């Protein structure tokens, strides 16, 4: 089966600019997650979707971050405006939803804010 | 909320030597426990997981981990390390009533020839 696809792989932007990341989960996976991984740290959950509804966005900085999952398939994570501290790898993961934590991670998007 | 501590930021072992990576968790009940590996520029790959039952869990690539409730630990072991095992290793703990998984800060493994 195809894995979790993410694009772009790398992105460099200036602070105060906006950026968007795209994730295509494994076909049929109901649950989708966005994680932020700052250099030297473990991944931190930003938002969890179940189909096209938000399950948990308690750690999403909503003043600048937004995410959507239209039609319960692809998802987009946006940052507007970006800050220097947003430099990180943004990982998308998906799971079938019928087994606890059956995550599959994508390769991530590395964002550098200068 | 649950949390994970990986006490070792960086470990260096010689190829062929044994390996143990430490993981301690904090959670009020029996958690779900995981070990992931991340190679440079790659996503996270699941090595093994513990949900219940036998406390010694076998994973991929020759890794195993042992859940010790009394010590709140879930240490990862491998009897003989290969150069290709050099990577970042993350321990994670999940709650049993939701899909909230928390990761440790990771341990970077260097393998000497």
Distance from CA of A91 to the nearest CA of B (A): 7
Cα–Cα separations (whole angstroms), residue A26 to A4, A92, B9: 5, 11, 32
**pLDDT exceeds cutoff 80 at A79:** yes
Tens digit of each residue's pLDDT (9 = 90 or more) over A5-52: 999 999 999 999 999 999 999 998 989 999 999 998 899 999 999 888
Contact assignment for B105 to A48 by CB distance below 8 Å: no
A 10 A CB-CB count for A53 gives 9
The predicted pLDDT at position B40 comes to 83
- Contacts of B63-67 with C-beta under 8 Å, sequence gap 24+, read B63/B35, B65/B23, B65/B33, B65/B35, B67/B33
Q: How far is A4 from A108, CA to CA, in rounded Å?
A: 9
The predicted pLDDT at position B101 comes to 83
B10 vs A104: which has the higher pLDDT: B10
The predicted pLDDT at position A96 comes to 84
Residues of A with CB below 8 A from B42's CB?
107
Closest Cβ–Cβ partner in A31, A42, A100 for B94: A100
Q: How open is the CA angle B35-A36-A27, to the nearest 5 degrees?
A: 75
Split at pLDDT 50, 70, 90, the class of B85 is: very high
Residue percentage of chain B with pLDDT more than 70: 98
The predicted pLDDT at position A100 comes to 63
**pLDDT exceeds cutoff 90 at A57:** yes
Residues of B with CB below 8 A from A99's CB?
none
The predicted pLDDT at position B96 comes to 76
Contact assignment for A44 to B96 by CB distance below 8 Å: no
Interface mutation target, options B99, B103, B107, chain A, most CBs of A under 10 Å: B99
Q: How open is the CA angle B3-B6-B12, to the nearest 5 degrees?
A: 165
The predicted pLDDT at position B56 comes to 97
Closest Cβ–Cβ partner in A4, A91, A101 for B32: A101
- In the DSSP assignment, the letter for residue B28 is S
Distance from CA of B61 to the nearest CA of A (A): 17
Contact assignment for B44 to A101 by CB distance below 8 Å: no
**pLDDT exceeds cutoff 70 at A111:** yes
Mean pLDDT, chain B, whole residue set: 93
Q: Of A93, A82, A86, A87, nearest to A47 (Cα)? A: A93
Residue percentage of chain A with pLDDT more than 90: 75
């Amino acid at each position: 089966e195809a894995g979790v696809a993410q694009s772009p792989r790398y992105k460099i932007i200036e602070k105060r600019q906006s950026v968007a990341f795209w994730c295509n989960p494994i076909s049929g996976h109901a649950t989708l997650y966005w994680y932020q991984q700052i250099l030297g740290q473990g991944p931190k959950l930003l938002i969890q979707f179940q189909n096209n509804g938000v399950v948990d966005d308690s750690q999403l900085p909503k003043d600048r971050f937004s995410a959507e999952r239209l039609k319960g398939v692809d998802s987009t994570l946006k940052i507007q405006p970006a800050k220097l501290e947003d430099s990180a790898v943004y990982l998308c993961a998906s799971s079938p939803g019928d087994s606890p934590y059956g995550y599959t991670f994508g390769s991530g998007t590395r964002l550098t804010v200068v | 909320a649950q949390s994970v501590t990986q006490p070792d930021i960086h470990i260096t072992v010689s190829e062929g030597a044994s390996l143990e990576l430490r993981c301690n968790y904090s959670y009020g009940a029996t958690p779900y426990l995981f070990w992931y590996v991340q190679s440079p520029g790659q996503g996270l790959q699941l090595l093994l997981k513990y949900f219940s039952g036998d406390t010694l869990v076998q994973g991929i690539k020759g890794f195993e981990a042992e859940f010790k409730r009394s010590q709140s630990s879930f240490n990862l072991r491998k009897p003989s390390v290969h150069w290709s095992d050099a990577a970042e290793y993350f321990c994670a703990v999940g709650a049993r009533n939701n899909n909230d998984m928390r990761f440790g800060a990771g341990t970077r493994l260097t393998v000497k020839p």
